[in-house]
Chains A and B, each alone.
Chain A
Amino acid sequence: MEPILKIENLKTSFMTSNGEVQAVRGVSLTVGKGEILGIVGESGSGKSVTAMSVLRLLSDTARIKEGTITFKGQDLIKMPKKELRGIRGEKISMIFQDPMSSLNPLIPVGRQVEEMIREHDPDRRKEEVKKDVLELFEKVRIPEPEKRYGCFPHEFSGGMRQRVMIAMALANKPDLLIADEPTTALDVTIQDQILRQLRELEKEYGTSIIFITHDLGVVAELCDRVAVMYGGLIMEEAPIDDIFEKTGHPYTMGLLASVPDMDQDKEIRLQSIPGSPPDMTNPPKGCPFAPRCPYARQLCASELPDFVQVGEGHRSRCFLRYSDAPADANNPFRK
């Protein structure tokens, strides 16, 4: 598959009063044309920061320290701001987590979507743009688009606002859509509708999607491929079926175990991974997951493992997948 976006060795830090927080510590990813890539991880794993780094939408305290982000042959990191603005919203657009606060409360929603189109195509006639917006509203299933056009965000429900955001993000038929936990703040039923819509729209426009979430269930429904992040690093990357059937990393196993499984007994239905994520101002020199990993060895605490290819398009960052790892009772991969 032809890659549309290629992230290589991305390192992003936040400069805070307590020191440098190394949120992303060397992430490499590719997104193919028309592909939906899921990035999964708990909060603080660096998944959102990775996504924000693509369009350089991070706060002032953040610095992209290393790496390249190649989009259509151009490095987005080195690109001048002015040129980057031409890409934002036109070629790559974003949907954010909280639809309540992502829309300007003082501007009617229709005009906010309209602004997206006119910014990148200022010569178009007003009526024409409005027609486009109404069409978009229809497409994302906002009822009575004509009436809703002049409404303010506070008159909308959360799900409706997220639809407006999706309409906005798709307004210029972008090549890539980055969705940063778009369904986290919504009710489960609404969540499902939004996901189905994203899927349809991807089919219709051929837009590639990076979908960020902490919910493996959502990933299973939507994505073609998944990258699991922890402690600012990718731990495992695999096609969607492999993640569930040939799980290649203890952390992913932990994540899967914490998705409630109705087939199991009540007592063991819901499990959690004991412990809390590492302190990123002073990241551990070994595998970041080692302190919480039930299979961790002495080696894991002192050295960072490299990726091991464990299947077609499937790689895992774990010493237990190394060829010299002992096949003892505490190695889940060598039984």
Chain B
Amino acid sequence: MVRYFIKRLGMMLIALFLIILVTFVIMHSIPGGPFTSDRNVSKEVEEALNEKYHLNDPLPKQFFDYVGNLLHGDFGPSYRFTGKTVNDFIANGFPVSAKLGGVTILFVILASIPMGILAAIKNGKWQDMLVMAVATIGVTIPSFVIASILIYIFSFRMGALPSFGLDSWKGYVLPVITLGGYSISYLARQMRSSLLEVMGQDYIRTARAKGLSEPKIIIRHALRNAMIPVITVLGPTVANLLTGSFVVEKIFAVPGLGVHFVNSVTMRDYTTIMGVTIFYATFLLAMVFIVDVFYCLIDPRIKYD
């Protein structure tokens, strides 16, 4: 098992290195450099800026300097906001995003798994139809549409919940639903189909032949087995929440990292784009790794594969 994890870890480090390399190359291949597009920057000023940000060094040197700084946790300065560093953006934005994301993922797990179990147990009955209808809507309607509808109904029409900010628990309700909507639906569908498949397995028949009651069969024999494929999609779910946060933070005016990222894209703040991309990628890979470890712990078969 340890060997397996080391292998996974190694692959992730390679992936991370490639991501850094690719983002670096992409950012430095933009014709003319970051300051040429500014109208009011004179030749001399541009030269000075290039000097200041070491843009005149040969690219490989710049790259290794950058990677060296990354290893110290230094993402470098922002090109657009003088005096600000990319680390400032991450330090300000990430805690806000992480809190919203944490609440959402908790909500997602607590809502989707019971939904999926209910739908599977009541297979074909109205409870199943209801859950599946909600889940289908959740995976097909883009989050910004859901958010707009929610804001229109609950904020503008009813005035019950704020349409922006995270100042009180009320402020969390709409963003969390919007952000989690897709994942809840996706996980609920996964849970349902996974549990249905497990319930058709031979060992469930064995459990029935033992004389166990249905609730006991589900709790002791079916749930854990049905959870395994659901856990595998938890990693991508975190990724979905992350990118979903771009939209949600924009709509609900949450000052998180997602908004900073989108702003830096529209403002072409190259170092921030690069830094935040690498930060996101690292975070995601770490998440996928954690899910992997968890997966190995719950399924005894994996050790021997």
Direct A–B touching, Cβ under 8 Å = yes
Residues of A within 8 A of B (CB): 55, 57, 59, 82, 85-90, 93-94, 96, 98, 101-107, 115-116, 119-120, 152, 154-155, 165, 168
Q: Does B52 contact A (CB under 8 A)?
A: no
Query: Does B225 lie within 8 Å of A104, measured CB to CB?
Result: yes
Q: List the A side residues contacting B213 at CB < 8 Å.
A: 82, 85
Nearest CB of chain A from residue B119's CB, rounded to whole Å: 15
Among B206, B212, B299, point to the contact of A103 (Cβ < 8 A). Answer: B206
Roughly how many angstroms separate A85 CA and B207 CA in the complex, as a whole number? 11
Q: List the B side residues contacting A104 at CB < 8 Å.
A: 203, 206-207, 221, 225
Q: Does B300 contact A (CB under 8 A)?
A: yes
Query: Does A88 lie within 8 Å of B299, measured CB to CB?
Result: no
Q: Scoring B residues 200 to 242 as 1 if CB is less than 8 Å from chain A, else 0, what string do you get?
A: 1111011111111100000011001100000000000000000
Roughly how many angstroms separate A105 CA and B299 CA in the complex, as a whole number? 9
Roughly how many angstroms separate A93 CA and B207 CA in the complex, as a whole number? 11
Q: What are some 25 contacts across the A-B interface (CB < 8 A)?
A: A55-B208, A55-B209, A59-B200, A85-B213, A87-B211, A88-B208, A88-B209, A89-B209, A93-B210, A96-B209, A98-B202, A101-B202, A101-B203, A102-B202, A102-B206, A103-B203, A104-B225, A105-B225, A106-B298, A106-B300, A115-B210, A115-B220, A116-B210, A119-B212, A152-B301
Known: A101-B201, A116-B210. 18 other contacts (CB 8 A): A57-B209, A86-B211, A87-B211, A88-B208, A88-B211, A90-B211, A93-B209, A96-B206, A102-B203, A103-B206, A104-B203, A104-B225, A106-B298, A107-B221, A115-B212, A119-B212, A154-B300, A165-B206
Q: Does B81 contact A (CB under 8 A)?
A: no
Nearest CB of chain B from residue A298's CB, rounded to whole Å: 44
Q: Does B304 contact A (CB under 8 A)?
A: yes
Roughly how many angstroms separate A111 CA and B35 CA in the complex, as a whole number? 69
Q: List the A side residues contacting B211 at CB < 8 Å.
A: 85-90, 119-120
Nearest CB of chain A from residue B213's CB, rounded to whole Å: 6
Q: List the B side residues contacting A55 at CB < 8 Å.
A: 208-209
Q: List the A side residues contacting B300 at CB < 8 Å.
A: 105-106, 152, 154
Q: List the B side residues contacting A106 at CB < 8 Å.
A: 224-225, 298-300
Write the chain A residue with the least CB distance to B200.
Answer: A59
Roughly how many angstroms separate A88 CA and B213 CA in the complex, as a whole number? 11
Write the chain B residue with the least CB distance to A91.
Answer: B211
Roughly how many angstroms separate A87 CA and B212 CA in the complex, as a whole number? 11
Q: List the A side residues contacting B212 at CB < 8 Å.
A: 85, 115, 119
Roughly how many angstroms separate A4 CA and B202 CA in the complex, as a whole number? 27
Roughly how many angstroms separate A85 CA and B208 CA in the complex, as a whole number? 8
Roughly how many angstroms separate A116 CA and B205 CA in the complex, as a whole number? 13
Query: Does A154 lie within 8 Å of B301, measured CB to CB?
Result: yes
Nearest CB of chain A from residue B34's CB, rounded to whole Å: 54
Q: Scoring B residues 176 to 217 as 1 if CB is less than 8 Å from chain A, else 0, what string do you get?
A: 000000000000000000000000111101111111110000
Roughly how many angstroms separate A117 CA and B272 CA in the complex, as a whole number? 64
Query: Does A89 lie within 8 Å of B210, measured CB to CB?
Result: yes
Q: List the A side residues contacting B203 at CB < 8 Å.
A: 101-105
Roughly how many angstroms separate A102 CA and B221 CA in the complex, as a whole number? 12
Nearest CB of chain A from residue B110's CB, rounded to whole Å: 23
Q: List the A side residues contacting B220 at CB < 8 Å.
A: 107, 115
Write the chain B residue with the least CB distance to A90.
Answer: B211
Nearest CB of chain A from residue B232's CB, rounded to whole Å: 15
Nearest CB of chain A from residue B113's CB, rounded to whole Å: 17
Roughly how many angstroms separate A213 CA and B132 CA in the complex, as a whole number? 42
Q: List the A side residues contacting B201 at CB < 8 Å.
A: 101
Roughly how many angstroms separate A213 CA and B208 CA in the complex, as a whole number? 22
Nearest CB of chain B from residue A265's CB, rounded to whole Å: 42
Write the chain B residue with the least CB distance to A152.
Answer: B300
Q: List the A side residues contacting B210 at CB < 8 Å.
A: 88-89, 93, 115-116, 119, 168
Roughly how many angstroms separate A96 CA and B203 CA in the complex, as a whole number? 10
Nearest CB of chain A from residue B140's CB, rounded to whole Å: 27
Write the chain B residue with the least CB distance to A117.
Answer: B210
Roughly how many angstroms separate A57 CA and B207 CA in the complex, as a whole number? 10
Nearest CB of chain B from residue A151's CB, rounded to whole Å: 9
Q: List the B side residues contacting A96 at CB < 8 Å.
A: 202, 205-206, 209
Roughly how many angstroms separate A107 CA and B210 CA in the complex, as a whole number? 15
